Structures are given as C-alpha cells and as structure tokens.
C-alpha cells in the first residue's frame, strides 16, 4: 500500500512539473536565514489549492498560501510549493532555509598585560566577535549605567563582562566570559645624587630601566644607579610589568658638591590632598634655599617649605648652609592622594520595592563621615555606609574622605521605585467574612494563627480576630486591619454543647455535651462525622483530618448549638 502511495505522489509531482499553466508559482523570499530558536514565514501567491514540499516530501495539512519554518527544525531545508488554479498545477522553484550561527562572545583587552594595568592608565575593553546590538556592560556583576557601545574605557579594577547580540539576531542575547582587571602602582621614577658613592640613582622599583644623557641612551646603563660621565641632563625610564613605561623628569647634574659635615634631609608628609598642601622641613642651619624640579623657589629661604597640590609630582630639595658649607638634601617628591569613585549598590531590585518593605543601599568604598540625600535633600535619619530605605526617589551620598577631611566625594544616584498595592479590606456579610480587594492569593488568620485551607476571598468564620494577607502578581503582599468576628451570625454554643478545646487543634478536640445528635462538616460542606451521643465528656480524634475549618452542629431534644473549629 505504501509503494502505491509513493508512486502516486511521484506521478502527481511529475504532472506538476510538466504542467504548462497560465501562471508562475513562486516562493518568497527565495532564501531565509533564521536566528537560533526563531521562526519565519514563506509566502506564495493566491491560488485554489496549495501543496508545500520540504526536501521533496509533502507537508501534511498545509493547504495555505504560506508556510512557517523554524530553527533548528527546518535548517538546510529546500522548500517549494505546487499551486493549483482552475485545475492546472504549477511548481515553484525551491527556497533554501539556512541558520545563522552565533559567534562566541569575546572581549579584547588593550592597555593591560595579563590582566594588570598601571594605575592612572586607561584600559579599553572591546567586543571583537560581532555583537553590536543590545549591549550591556557589567562590573562585579552590576550593570554599568550608560555603557552600551562595543567598547568601554576602564580605570579601576574589577570583574568585567558584557551581554549583547549580533545585528542579524538582536533578540538572541549572548554572554561573554569575565575579564579580571587589576591596576598596580607605577610611579614616575625620580633621580637622586649620592655624592658619597659618586652616583646618580633612581627610586624606581621596575626591573627594566634605561638611563639617558642629553636624550641619548647610555650603553649598558640599566641598573638602579650610574656613574655620571660629567655635568649634563639625565633621565631614566622604567618599564613596569603591567606594560606601561614611565619617564623621569630631566635631572640637571652640575657635579657633586663639596661634602660638608652635615647631611640635610627633608621631613614631612609627602601625600597631599587634592587642592591641599603639606609642610616640609629640614635640619637647622645658617641659611636655606628650597628647589622645585631643580629650580630655586623665590623667597623659600626658611627651614620649612609649604608645598601645594600643584607641586605634587615635582622633586623638591633644599640647600642648607652651615658654617660656610652648603649641602643639598636628597630630593623628595610629594604626590596627590588618588581616590577611586565611591559607588552605591542596591541589595536587590530598587525599581520594584513593595509598599511597606525596605531595600539596603551600600557603598563600596565608604569614608569616615557619610551624608545621605534623597532627591537632593539631606536625610539625617540615614546614618552609616549601609542604610535601609523604604521611600521612593533618588538616593545619593556625600562622603567625607578619611585621609582628606576637606575632600567630599559624591556618589552615583540609585533610583528607588515603590510599587503601590491596595491594603485589603474585610467585612462581615451575614455569616461570612468577605475580602473586597482583588488579589492573586488569600491567606486567612484567626487570632494570629494561619487557618490552613482558607484561600478564597470569602470564608465562613467563627467569632475571633480575623485578618487576611493577600499577594499580588508583582510579588508584593499586604495584610488587612484586624476584624472582630464577634458579631458573626453563628448560634451560640448552648449549655448542651461546650467546647473544652483546644481550638485550633491538632490531634484531638474535647467537648462537654448532653444527649443528642452531633454532626461535623468540612469547610466544603462535606459530612465527616455524625454520631448520637450521650451526656458527658466527648473526645474526637482529629489527627487524620485535613487542616482547615470545620463546622460542629449539635441538636438535643429542645435546644441546639454550633461552633467552628480550626484544625492545624
């Protein structure tokens, strides 16, 4: 039977191919390239009937002027359609479905060697694998605001990564591997004289040095010190392992001075705060002259010298004259404190804060004194480097620097958005308690304990203090105000039926009864217990009952009573 069917299809296709109709069947587009896990549609013109073929095999149940193809199901498929109009059938040329391969997302690093760069330099990270759309850069797992191009400039250490997509498949987001960057100190080398040893030397810690005289390299001068050939201008370059090179300021050497009996030195703090100053001092002598970068400073003729932040990075020395002999101190170079930006981080999603909840905001490099701001206004109630906030708005902080009290750093802003949800309202309606607030889930509590099984907006409840907690599809919860169910219309427990407890119960409940009929119903109205009882104390096993609310009804000869029991 299968052979006959296949033979019939072959005859049908042969007839289609050989038919000469007054129309031409086509498939548009003639080729499709599909992104991973995406689909698209091939179309043909209007006809009476259609039969689509995929790799020569008819497509079942597809008498339509279009055909949906998908990746990976239809990759490398050859597809054509046979149209029939007024009894004449025509076959189209084939359209080819191909797949787009996503390149592995990689990051190129410029300006760092083995993940380390020099402090003060800039490292450039570039996506070099074709991703150009929907780019987001991350530092330590947190998005970097405003950085959505294929390259990013980095000036501080951390773990960097990115997400993005190629232009042909903008919704197929890819993830790069992490790039770990560190910034090491690479100071500018300084040149000093050692008249006792007859050398010039540098303080550079690099293992790769080169000395120059008059701008020309000195052969084999690659050690930390050299014997100068004579007066002239000397420099030294230091290449650090992070791949950066630093060159000293020119040192004008005029020859070693006469060795005196005193050895002046410079004392004082060499780290200067931005826009600050430091006081340097030297030994007691008869006369003084201070030098900055080898130039005498006019009026600087005391044994102290105030160096400003503008002179940071310049070598400073002092000539001290004592008993007619002048000796120049070794040079010192003040530097400016470098402080990394202080970044605020939110422990969670600050844009979706539920009403009544709070979110923690911390800073990655706190100082000694922090002033928190909300929408630009000082918040005295927020103290310390980590705070919990529950109000919407833009949070930032001003931080007094630990080492430079006059320097105040301002952090980035974190926007906190508050999701406003309705507080549920409950009321007594007849013998029921009704929550009039629409929500996704309802959890009822009686006298502070959750009642299992009560999950609808309307419940049948006993007297007591009721609350309901609702949740919304945005993940937030809210709890109603307590409602005293004392006025609910249940019959009072008569003298013939007395609940001894416990309520709520777990394994057993105890009653004091008179003779009569006792019935117990579940919250769905199902009878689960009925028994004619005698006067006395009655204990009922409830261990096997499903947690929830149960209705007890007792009817004696001339009276009756009822109550509700919570099974936990």
Could you tell me the CA-to-CA distances from 501 to 103, 465, 490, 540, 551 in Å, in that order?
70, 18, 18, 11, 14
The residue-averaged pLDDT of 72-78 equals: 93
pLDDT of residue 13: 45
Cα distance between residue 245 and residue 237, in whole Å: 7
* The predicted structure's pLDDT at residue 7: 37
Token match 């309202």: residue? 425
Residue 554 and residue 396: Cα distance in Å, rounded? 66
6 pLDDT band, cuts 50/70/90, is: very low
Contacts 24+ apart (CB under 8 A), 435-444: 435/468, 435/470, 435/480, 437/470, 437/480, 439/470, 439/471, 439/472, 440/470, 440/471, 440/472, 440/473, 441/470, 441/471, 442/468, 442/469, 442/470, 443/468, 443/469, 443/470, 443/471, 444/468
Does 500 score more than 80 pLDDT? no
Name the maximum alpha-carbon separation found in the chain. Answer: 131
Q: What is the pLDDT of residues 256-308, one digit of tens each?
A: 766 788 889 999 988 888 888 899 999 999 999 999 999 999 999 999 999 98
Q: Do 483 and 426 meet the contact criterion of CB atoms below 8 Å apart?
A: yes
Q: Which of 205, 135, 209 is nearest to 166 (CA)?
A: 135
> What pLDDT, on the 0 to 100 scale, is given for residue 515?
84
- Please give the average per-residue pLDDT across 214-242, as a whole number: 91
Of 522, 523, 540, nearest to 531 by C-alpha is 540
What pLDDT does residue 257 have?
A: 64
- All domains of the chain, ordered by start, with CATH? 2-99 (2.60.40.10), 107-184 (2.60.40.10), 344-419 (2.60.40.10), 426-487 (no CATH), 497-567 (2.60.40.3080)
Report the range of poorest mean pLDDT among 155-159, 199-203, 309-313, 556-560: 556-560
Mean pLDDT computed over 346-350: 84
Is the pLDDT reported for residue 490 higher than 70?
no
Q: What are phi and psi of 177, to 5 degrees?
A: -80, 165
- Residue 29, preceding peptide bond in cis (omega within 30° of 0): yes
> In degrees, to the nearest 5, what angle opens at C-alpha 20 toward C-alphas 17 and 23?
100
Average pLDDT in the 326-337 region?
90
- pLDDT band for position 492 (cuts 50, 70, 90): very low
499 burial type by CB count under 10 A (0-12 exposed, 13-18 middle, 19+ buried): middle
Q: Are strands 31-34 and 95-99 parallel, antiparallel or unpaired?
A: parallel
**Average pLDDT score over the chain:** 85
Q: What are 562's strand-pairing partners?
A: 553
What are the C-alpha distances in Å from 334 to residues 118, 177, 203, 312, 401? 19, 40, 14, 5, 19
CA 255 to chain centre: 60
Contacts of 199 (CB under 8 A, 6+ apart): 193, 225, 226, 227, 228
How far is 32 from 43, CA to CA, in rounded Å? 12
Q: Residue 509 CA to chain centroid, in angstroms?
A: 53
In this predicted structure, what is the pLDDT of residue 90? 95
Q: Cα–Cα distance between 79 and 499 in angstroms, integer?
A: 78
Per-residue pLDDT of 460-481, as tens digits, reads: 666 678 898 988 887 788 888 8
Supply the pLDDT for residue 431: 65
Mean pLDDT of all residues in 494-509: 75
Mean pLDDT of all residues in 111-132: 88
Provide the pLDDT confidence category of residue 195 given band limits of 50, 70 and 90. Answer: confident
Highest mean pLDDT among 144-153, 349-358, 415-424: 144-153
Query: Is there a contact between 160 and 139 (Cβ–Cβ < 8 Å)?
Result: yes
Q: Which of 205-214, 385-394, 457-466, 535-544 bottoms out in mean pLDDT, i.e. has the lowest? A: 457-466
Q: How far apart are CA 557 and CA 58, in angstroms?
A: 81
Cα–Cα distance measured from residue 62 to residue 130, given in angstroms and rounded to the nearest whole number: 38
Q: Is the pLDDT confidence value at 248 over 90?
A: yes
Name the residue among 66, 70, 71 with its Cα closest to residue 42. 66
**pLDDT in the model for residue 554:** 80
Joined together, the tokens standing for residue 133 give 């759309």
Q: Are 276 and 309 in contact (CB under 8 A)?
A: yes
Sign of torsion over alpha carbons 34, 40, 45, 51: positive
pLDDT of residue 430: 66
pLDDT reported for residue 566: 80
Q: Span 196-219, mean pLDDT?
A: 90
* C-alpha dihedral sign at 199, 203, 207, 211: negative
Average pLDDT over residues 213-233: 92
Contacts of residue 6, defined as CB under 8 A and 6 or more positions apart, other chains included, come to none
Mean pLDDT of 393-402: 87
């Amino acid at each position: 039977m299968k052979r006959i069917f296949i033979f019939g299809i072959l005859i049908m296709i042969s007839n289609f191919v050989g038919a000469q109709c007054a129309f031409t069947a086509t498939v548009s587009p003639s080729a499709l390239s599909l992104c991973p896990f995406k689909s698209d549609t091939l179309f043909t013109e209007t006809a009476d009937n259609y039969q689509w073929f995929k790799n020569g095999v008819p497509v079942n149940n597809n008498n339509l002027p279009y055909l949906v193809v998908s990746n990976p199901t239809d990759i490398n498929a050859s597809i054509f359609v046979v149209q029939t109009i007024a009894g004449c059938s025509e076959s189209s040329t084939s359209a080819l479905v191909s797949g787009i391969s996503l390149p592995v997302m990689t990051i190129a690093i410029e300006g760092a060697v083995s993940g380390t760069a020099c402090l003060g330099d800039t490292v450039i990270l570039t996506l070099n694998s074709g991703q150009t759309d929907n780019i987001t850069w991350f530092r330590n797992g947190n998005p970097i605001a405003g950085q959505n191009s294929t390259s990013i400039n980095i000036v501080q250490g951390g773990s960097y990564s990115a997400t993005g997509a190629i232009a042909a498949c903008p919704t197929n987001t890819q993830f790069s591997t992490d790039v770990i960057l560190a910034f090491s100190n690479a100071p500018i080398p300084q040149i000093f004289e050692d008249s006792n040893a007859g050398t010039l030397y540098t303080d550079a810690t690099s293992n790769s040095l080169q000395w120059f005289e008059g701008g020309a390299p000195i052969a084999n001068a690659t050690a930390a010190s050299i014997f100068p050939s004579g007066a002239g201008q000397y420099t030294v370059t230091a290449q650090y392992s992070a791949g950066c090179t630093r060159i000293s300021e020119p040192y004008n050497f005029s020859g070693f001075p006469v060795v005196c009996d005193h050895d002046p030195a410079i004392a004082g703090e060499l780290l200067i705060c931005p826009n600050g100053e430091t006081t340097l001092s030297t030994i007691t002598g008869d006369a003084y002259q201070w030098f900055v970068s080898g130039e005498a400073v006019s009026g600087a003729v005391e044994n102290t010298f105030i160096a400003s932040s503008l002179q940071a990075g310049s070598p400073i020395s002092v000539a001290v004259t004592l008993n007619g002999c002048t000796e120049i101190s070794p040079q010192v170079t003040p530097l400016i404190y470098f402080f990394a930006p202080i970044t605020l981080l939110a422990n969670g999603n600050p844009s979706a804060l539920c009403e009544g909840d709070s979110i923690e905001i911390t800073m990655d490099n706190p100082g000694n004194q922090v002033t928190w701001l909300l929408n630009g206004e000082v918040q005295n109630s927020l103290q310390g480097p980590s705070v919990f906030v529950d109000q919407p708005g833009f949070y930032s902080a001003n931080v007094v620097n630990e080492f430079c009290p006059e320097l105040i750093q301002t952090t980035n802003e974190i926007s906190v958005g508050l999701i406003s949800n309705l507080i549920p309202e409950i009321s007594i309606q007849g013998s029921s308690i009704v929550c009039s607030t629409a929500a996704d889930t309802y959890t009822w509590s009686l006298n502070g304990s959750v009642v299992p099984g009560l999950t609808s907006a309307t419940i049948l409840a006993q007297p007591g203090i009721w609350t309901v907690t609702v949740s919304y599809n945005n993940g937030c919860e809210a709890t109603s105000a307590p409602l005293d169910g004392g006025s609910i219309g249940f019959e009072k427990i008569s003298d013939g039926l007395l609940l001894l407890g416990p309520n709520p119960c777990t394994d057993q409940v105890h009653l004091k009864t008179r003779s009569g009929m006792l019935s117990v119903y579940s919250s769905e109205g199902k009878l689960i217990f009925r028994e004619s009882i005698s006067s006395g104390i009655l204990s009922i096993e409830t261990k096997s009952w499903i947690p929830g609310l149960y209705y007890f009804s007792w009817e004696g000869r001339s009276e009756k009573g009822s109550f509700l029991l919570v099974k936990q």
